[in-house]
């Protein structure tokens, strides 16, 4: 059943067009991840769905029975708001037997918010995010619109939210950079690319493959047009007299093919290693302890960093991760012990919050304040060239900073830090508000970075990619060291019984390691068809053929009904339903054939 129809939607800001006559249907059961580079319009898209912004043209048509709950990236609240008053404001229920306040307290408890009378003004960023989540999930709506729901959440909360959304029965539309989260929660991906929307009937892993197929098809189609165009060009140059109808049609086709544009090339953030030389002495942490208000955050921690090592730091919100970073930076002093920084150490600090940027300053000038030229692996590069590598085109470089999106500002901030050529990178939640394309290249950059990386992150994929050891904040201020990436840490910590102990005690369900690659493990264990699957396997080819024939007939009818608006609308809806059914059957066909191949390998005989 169609719940939301987006028809010919156009939206832009000044000369910058985000969406150009895009269409999309959203159905019951859809759990959609919105992906695209920063500034492509992901948050704007959610705001338009939530009714907080209006499109410039086109329509967003909702089913009358559907309601929505929207989670913004940043929590807005009144100064006098308490946790409970904020969560319950505007919420109501038609069920007289349902105690809304009791439900609010229950959800807050699940999110580890105990004192519901506390003011939001005094909460940390992670705590505010959890309170905003509680408000969104209270009296759940038919449609959840979530903008970066995992930002500022620790790993335990991300795992809880992941399990909650997997069980959620309504429609989910979300923007997130967390690739593991996308992979496990979504069943559809909508990509925003060059003012267009592309829908993929798959989770994030499937999207990556399908997207590459789309790009390859577009490139092949363009090459085919160019080959025909060369033939037509030879005919035109031979001086053909365009007198006959056939000749005129051929000339018209030539002109149309000349106007076909090449597929837009995918933009990438490119980073070369810019590290300064590092001496023998790096960072020495000697018996450091730190406490706040009688609570021990760090106790007797000692560690000497090694050249080129990559450390990931994990732990619950408020445990002291950022405090440790600030002590290394000299922004806070330990209660006891000392931290010694080598003379050649040059630290680049990427904080959770983007530093204050002068809104009236141009993008290029913000970078030139650090350096006009830098030396990279490939020689000298100007500030303008580095901006282009970070997707800031010459036009954007001369725009004012106030015109950038939140994600673009964070990307600009990252460029500024790297332009200073640090040999130690301290990253505090670096994945917040960065798009997946930028994260991918940042990870590639860190692979080749000739220096030390110390990263606090809740992004499991990011830590799996960049960390070669994990520091985990455990009980009573103790910091345990685990060799390997995040997944290895999870497995070892579970064996020790130190992973998410409070979560296990409250029975919140699977941990990350439990659910890791569940779909793959399940398939490997299943080495036979059920009776129903066997019947489906034998008939699915015929079902697909019928759907393809029906689709062909509908397309022919659409061409005939070009001037009959009501009939055209009816046929378009039928075509959309057939497209959806065909995609579903094709997806099922792939699964059944993959399973058949596995069974045949085991049994060494064909199933048909």
Give me the pLDDT at residue 21, please: 94
Task: Record the tokens describing residue 94, joined without a space.
Answer: 């038609």
Give me the pLDDT at residue 118, please: 92
Across 37-46, 256-265, 377-386, which has the greatest mean pLDDT?
Answer: 37-46
Question: Which secondary-structure segment (H or E) carries 34?
Answer: strand 31-35
Reported confidence tier of residue 275, pLDDT bands at 50, 70, 90? low
Chain-wide mean pLDDT for the chain? 82
What single DSSP character describes residue 405?
-
Task: Provide mean pLDDT across the span 74-91.
Answer: 88
**Tens-place pLDDT, residues 323-374:** 999 999 999 999 999 999 999 999 999 998 878 899 999 999 999 999 898 8
Of 415, 215, 427, the closest CA to residue 311 belongs to: 427
**Angle, to 10 degrees, between the axis of helix 531-560 and the axis of helix 565-603?**
150
Across 340-349, 492-501, 509-518, 555-564, which has the greatest mean pLDDT?
Answer: 340-349
Residue bearing tokens 């990263």? 455
Going edge to edge, which strands form the sheet with 295-304?
A: 295-304, 283-292, 336-341
- For 605, residues 6+ apart whose C-beta sits below 8 A from its C-beta are none
Give me the pLDDT at residue 237, please: 58
Greater model confidence, 8 or 225: 8
Give me the pLDDT at residue 189, please: 96
Greater model confidence, 377 or 128: 128
Going edge to edge, which strands form the sheet with 188-193?
A: 68-71, 143-147, 171-175, 31-35, 188-193, 196-200
Task: Provide mean pLDDT across the span 535-564.
Answer: 81
CA distance 82 to 93: 21
Long-range CB contacts (within 8 A, 24+) of 63-67: 63/1, 63/2, 63/3, 63/4, 65/142, 66/3, 66/4, 66/141, 66/142, 66/143, 66/171, 67/141, 67/142, 67/143
**Rg of the Cα atoms in the chain:** 28
pTM of the model: 0.69
Task: Record the tokens describing residue 143, joined without a space.
Answer: 């449609």
Across 479-488, 541-550, 578-587, which has the greatest mean pLDDT?
Answer: 479-488
**Tens-place pLDDT, residues 107-119:** 898 888 889 999 9
DSSP 243-263: TSHHHHHHHHHHHHHHTPPPP
Task: Record the tokens describing residue 597, joined without a space.
Answer: 């191949």
Greater model confidence, 273 or 155: 155
What single DSSP character describes residue 510?
-
CA distance 347 to 492: 31
Give me the pLDDT at residue 502, please: 36
How much of the chain, in percent, has pLDDT values that exceed 70? Answer: 82
CA distance 89 to 450: 51
Give me the pLDDT at residue 608, please: 52
**Tens-place pLDDT, residues 196-235:** 999 999 999 899 888 888 887 877 766 666 666 666 565 5
CA distance 53 to 335: 49
**Angle, to 10 degrees, between the axis of helix 245-258 and the axis of helix 204-237?**
130
Give me the pLDDT at residue 110, please: 84
Give me the pLDDT at residue 388, please: 86
Give me the pLDDT at residue 266, please: 53
CA distance 355 to 534: 60
3-state secondary structure 159-224: HHHHHHHHHCCCEEEEECCCHHHHHHHCCEEEEEECCEEEEECCCHHHHHHHHHHHHHHHHHHHHH
């Amino acid at each position: 059943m169609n719940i939301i129809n987006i028809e010919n939607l156009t939206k832009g800001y000044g000369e910058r067009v985000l969406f150009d006559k895009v269409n999309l249907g959203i159905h019951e059961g859809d759990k959609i991840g919105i992906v695209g580079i920063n500034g492509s319009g992901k948050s704007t898209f959610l705001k338009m769905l939530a009714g907080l912004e209006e499109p410039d043209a086109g329509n967003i048509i909702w089913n009358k029975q559907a309601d929505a709950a929207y989670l913004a990236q940043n929590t807005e609240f009144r100064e006098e708001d308490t946790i409970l008053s904020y969560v319950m404001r505007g919420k109501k229920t038609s069920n007289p037997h349902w105690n809304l306040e009791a439900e609010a307290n229950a959800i807050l408890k699940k999110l580890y918010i105990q004192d519901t009378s506390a003011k939001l003004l005094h909460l940390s960023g992670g705590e505010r995010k959890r309170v905003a989540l509680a408000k969104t999930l209270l009296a759940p709506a038919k449609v959840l619109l979530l903008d970066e729901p995992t930002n500022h959440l620790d790993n335990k909360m991300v795992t809880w939210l992941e399990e909650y959304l997997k069980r959620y029965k309504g429609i989910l539309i979300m923007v997130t950079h967390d690739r593991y989260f996308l992979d496990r929660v979504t069943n559809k991906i909508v990509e925003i690319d060059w003012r267009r929307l592309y829908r993929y009937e798959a989770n994030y892993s499937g999207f990556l493959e399908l997207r590459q197929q789309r790009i390859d098809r577009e490139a092949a189609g363009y090459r085919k047009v160019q080959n025909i165009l060369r033939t037509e060009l030879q005919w035109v140059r031979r001086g053909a007299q365009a007198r006959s109808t056939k000749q005129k049609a051929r000339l018209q086709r030539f002109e149309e093919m000349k106007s076909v544009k090449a597929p837009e090339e995918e933009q990438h953030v490119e980073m070369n290693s810019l590290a300064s030389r590092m001496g023998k002495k790096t960072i020495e942490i000697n018996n450091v302890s730190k406490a706040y208000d009688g609570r021990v955050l760090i106790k007797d921690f000692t560690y000497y960093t090694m050249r080129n090592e990559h450390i990931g730091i994990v732990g619950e919100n408020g445990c002291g991760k950022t405090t440790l970073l600030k002590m290394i930076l000299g922004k806070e002093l330990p209660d006891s012990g000392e931290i010694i920084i080598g003379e050649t150490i040059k630290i680049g600090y990427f904080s959770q919050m983007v530093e204050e940027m002068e809104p009236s300053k141009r993008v290029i000038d913000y970078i030139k304040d650090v350096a006009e030229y830098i030396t990279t692996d490939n020689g000298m590069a100007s500030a303008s060239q580095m901006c282009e590598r970070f997707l800031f085109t010459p036009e954007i470089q001369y725009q004012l900073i106030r015109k950038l999106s939140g994600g673009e500002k964070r990307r600009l901030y990252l460029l500024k830090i790297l332009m200073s050529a640090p040999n130690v990178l301290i990253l505090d939640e670096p994945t917040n508000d960065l798009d997946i394309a930028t994260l991918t290249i940042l990870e590639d950059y860190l692979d080749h970075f000739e220096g030390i990386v110390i990263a606090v992150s809740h992004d499991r994929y990011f830590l799996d990619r960049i960390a070669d050891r994990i520091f985990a904040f455990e009980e009573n201020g103790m910091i345990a060291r685990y060799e390997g990436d995040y997944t290895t840490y999870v497995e070892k910590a579970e064996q020790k019984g130190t992973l998410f102990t409070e979560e296990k005690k409250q029975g919140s369900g699977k941990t990350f390691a439990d659910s890791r690659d569940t779909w793959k493990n399940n398939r490997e264990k299943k080495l036979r068809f059920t009776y129903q699957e066997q019947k489906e396997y034998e008939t699915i080819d015929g079902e697909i053929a019928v759907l393809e024939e029906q689709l062909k007939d509908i397309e022919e009818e659409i061409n005939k009904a070009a001037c009959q608006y009501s009939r055209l609308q009816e046929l378009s809806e039928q075509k959309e339903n057939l497209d959806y059914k065909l995609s579903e059957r094709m997806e099922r066909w792939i699964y059944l054939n993959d399973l058949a191949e596995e069974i045949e390998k085991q049994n060494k005989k064909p199933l048909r």
